[in-house]
């Protein structure tokens, strides 16, 4: 029932739709700057390595959700890690195991690629997602805080 495959450039409209759906759920839709052109350049570049990878899940032949991830690195482990940037399932298709299938597919990829860990962030108010992750064995890292330079704060260092 659930089919997971790597996305291709032909999937850009669906990927962008999922990004907007995730942003709407997280109440961050005004922050979305992604376009099909930007996604093509970063996920499916003509030259060089992609910035990230994307998996698409289909439920009974219908696009149901996606996961976007990339590799990071742990100096403590001296091994790569897999960072899950986004995980989203269409609201009408939640509860059918699509999110779990996507997350576990990423975990299997992490193991196959020799990663020492898999990490992601979750909004503190998103208790359904937090509970879902805990059921799968994830541990929240309460002592760590995300720091970010973006927009003008980042641009000032050109």
Residues with a known catalytic role: 133
Residues in the chain: 158
Closest CA to 116 of 143, 79, 150, 149: 79
Within its chain, how far is the Cα of 8 from the centroid? 16
Cβ pair 117, 77 in contact under 8 A: yes
**Beta carbons within 8 Å of 44's beta carbon, 6+ residues apart:** 8, 9, 12, 50
Is 12 buried (19+), middle (13-18) or exposed (0-12) by CB count in 10 A?
Answer: buried
Cβ pair 98, 89 in contact under 8 A: yes
């Amino acid at each position: 029932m659930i089919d997971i495959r790597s996305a291709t450039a032909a999937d850009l409209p669906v990927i962008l739709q999922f990004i907007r759906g995730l942003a709407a759920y997280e109440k961050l839709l005004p922050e979305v700057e992604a376009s099909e052109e930007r996604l093509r350049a970063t996920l499916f570049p003509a030259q060089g390595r992609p910035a990230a990878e994307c998996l698409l899940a289909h439920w009974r032949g219908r696009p149901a959700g996606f996961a976007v991830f990339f590799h990071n690195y742990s100096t403590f482990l001296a091994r790569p890690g897999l960072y899950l940037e986004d995980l989203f399932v269409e609201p009408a298709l939640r509860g059918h195991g699509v999110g779990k299938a996507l997350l576990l597919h990423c975990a299997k990829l992490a193991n196959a690629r020799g990663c020492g860990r898999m990490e992601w962030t979750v909004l503190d108010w998103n208790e359904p997602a937090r509970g879902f992750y805990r059921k799968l064995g994830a541990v929240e890292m309460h002592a760590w805080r995300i720091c970010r330079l973006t927009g003008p704060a980042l641009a000032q260092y050109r």
